[in-house]
Structure 1
Amino acid sequence: MAEPARTPLRVEGAGFVVRPWRIDDLDALLEHADDAQVVRGLSDRFPHPYRRADGEAFLSGRVVDLSTAWAIELEGRACGGIGLLPQQGEREHVARLGYWLGRRHWGRGHMSRLVGAFLDAAVPAFGLQRVEAFVLDGNTASVRVLAKNGFQPEGTTRAAVCKDGRFHDLHWFARLWGEAASGH
């Protein structure tokens, strides 16, 4: 397995590091990703059960572009991920934000702090004016993370996702920066 692509973005904060994924993160990735509670609000790109082959495919860049996906490190080990999906063309000033965290670290405010620090670094690095995030119905913790970081609700797409045989609404949030923020 080849080493994932490197990105210059690295963010350090109170008790956390956001950094590029590394091949030696595989065991930590498997430990935290193979949890039905973690994947319940994520895309089917994030399978359950999460097997070694899934982790190897991810870390080799065959699942997502690792130049826009980073590891969340707490207590010296990777335990989650955060990423951006930059848009193109007339939407090149926009990126979609996604994140997940191992359940052992839930409820401590880590994600709220690190999303803010991450966006402080990523928005200028990628020349963004708008960041969007989509939250599956029932994921109130993610809604709180976004609200604490200045995201505003923009709407709900009803029955937008079918997961585990059930239809779910998808809630859309966004935050503006720079000229886009001053013009609205």
Structure 2
Amino acid sequence: MPDPAPALQGQGFVLRPWRHADLASLVHHANDAAVSRGLRDRFPFPYTHADGEAFLAGQVLGPGTLSRAIVIDGAACGGIGVQVGTAERGHAGELGYWLGQAHWGQGWMTRVVGLFAPWAMDHLRLFRLQAEVLDFNEGSARVLLANGFVEEGTARCAILKRGELHDLRRFARVRTALP
């Protein structure tokens, strides 16, 4: 079923639902060890056409995930999404995002998160939006801090990724009432 939420227009980018036509661009930007290094293992490396097809068919992200392609210069070169909690945690969501390495260090993710996070919180009626960042990913931590997220703490030795233990930093943006 198509996502009824609108595309969001940002400064030099668009956030819109993923399309099957994004497959080649998705694989091009996702098939990068440096990109997958800071993400969950469901984002594999190498990233194949079959991985891209499974993602675009809705077979990778959990049910209820709001996911958007990050489109720069007409090409889907990254993604951002929120997985909403269930039951007593249904008022909260977990934010995740990635961007092709060709676009790193140019301020794109700061602007993308700045547009997406408040919109997603309103659209999904969330009181809490949290994100977890591996210890080495200072760029992602800076993106969150620049967008009103507060660092809440660190889970030590929480992630075993590619044979190395990593701490996991947690950030959150909260509100106590809906607009």
1:124 counterpart = 2:130: no
| 2-structure distance, mates of 1:130, 1:80 | 23
- Counterpart in 1 of 2:169? 171
Q: 1:168 to 1:67 in 2, by over 3 A?
A: closer
| 2-structure distance, mates of 1:7, 1:38 | 29
Q: 1:51 to 1:148 in 2, by over 3 A?
A: same
Q: Which runs of 5+ in 2 are unaligned?
A: none
Secondary structure in 2 matching 1:21: coil
Contact 2:65 / 2:84 at 8 angstroms: preserved in 1?
no
Map residues 98-113 of structure 1 onto 2, 5 A cutoff.
98-113=96-111
CA apart distance, 1:68: 1.1
CA apart distance, 1:77: 0.7
- The one-letter amino acid paired with 1:43 is R
1:37 counterpart = 2:34: yes
Contact 1:154 / 1:173 at 8 angstroms: preserved in 2?
yes
Secondary structure in 2 matching 1:15: coil
Instruction: Give RMSD over aligned pairs.
Output: 1.4
CA apart distance, 1:162: 0.5
Secondary structure in 2 matching 1:58: helix
Contact 2:135 / 2:166 at 8 angstroms: preserved in 1?
yes
- Percent identical across equivalent pairs? 50
Calculate the TM-score normalised by the size of structure 1. Answer: 0.92
The one-character-per-residue Cα deviations of 1:45-93 (angstroms, maximum 9, x if unpaired) are 0000000100000000010148511100001110000010100111111
- Counterpart in 2 of 1:142? 140
Q: Which runs of 5+ in 1 are unaligned?
A: none
Calculate the TM-score normalised by the size of structure 2. Answer: 0.95
Return structure 1 stretches of 4+ with deviation > 6 angstroms.
none
- Counterpart in 2 of 1:154? 152
Q: How many residues are paired up?
A: 177
